[in-house]
């Protein structure tokens, strides 16, 4: 029984240490990263996407050249990969997943606003844990 308690305690300490490390890593967004996430969230329609592309640095170049909403969504999907990395563990950011389109995105609201499926699929998606 004592050995089981010691094993449990060691496991608990390891989990706490891992969580503390994850929290410390999550708190290190640079101003450039914060600007990227702010611009990324504005890119939710073709005109908004093109206007926000300047805030996305070099990563926004493809988005700024989009000739159609389809092109913009393709470019936005690539930006979503970076946004997911930056937002991981950050307070106030939520990573969503649309199971029908198999796409992910980041947003600050907890009300689903799927940027990939148009008006018909705006509510399709769920926050990832």
CA-derived radius of gyration, the chain: 19
pLDDT at 57: 78
Q: Report whether pLDDT(65) > 50.
A: yes
Residue 52 has what pLDDT?
A: 73
The per-residue pLDDT for range 2-19, each reduced to its tens digit, is 332 222 222 222 323 333
Query: What is the average pLDDT across 22-46?
Result: 66
Question: Could you give phi then psi for residue 24, rounded to 5 degrees?
Answer: -65, -45
Tell me what the mean pLDDT of segment 83-108 comes to: 93
- pLDDT tens column, 41-58: 655 567 777 777 777 778
Q: Given this model, what pLDDT does residue 27 score?
A: 57
């Amino acid at each position: 029984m004592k050995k089981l308690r010691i094993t449990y305690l060691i496991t608990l300490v390891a989990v706490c240490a891992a969580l503390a490390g994850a929290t410390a890593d999550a708190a290190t967004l640079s101003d450039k990263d914060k600007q990227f996430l702010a611009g990324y969230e504005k890119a939710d329609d073709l005109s908004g996407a093109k206007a926000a592309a300047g805030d996305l640095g070099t990563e926004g170049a493809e988005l700024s050249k989009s000739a159609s909403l389809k092109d913009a969504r393709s470019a936005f999907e690539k930006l979503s990969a970076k946004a997911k990395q930056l937002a991981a563990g950050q307070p106030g950011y939520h990573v969503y997943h649309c199971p029908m389109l198999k796409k992910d995105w980041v947003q600050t609201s907890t009300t689903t606003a799927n940027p990939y499926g148009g008006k018909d699929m705006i509510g399709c998606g769920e926050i990832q844990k």
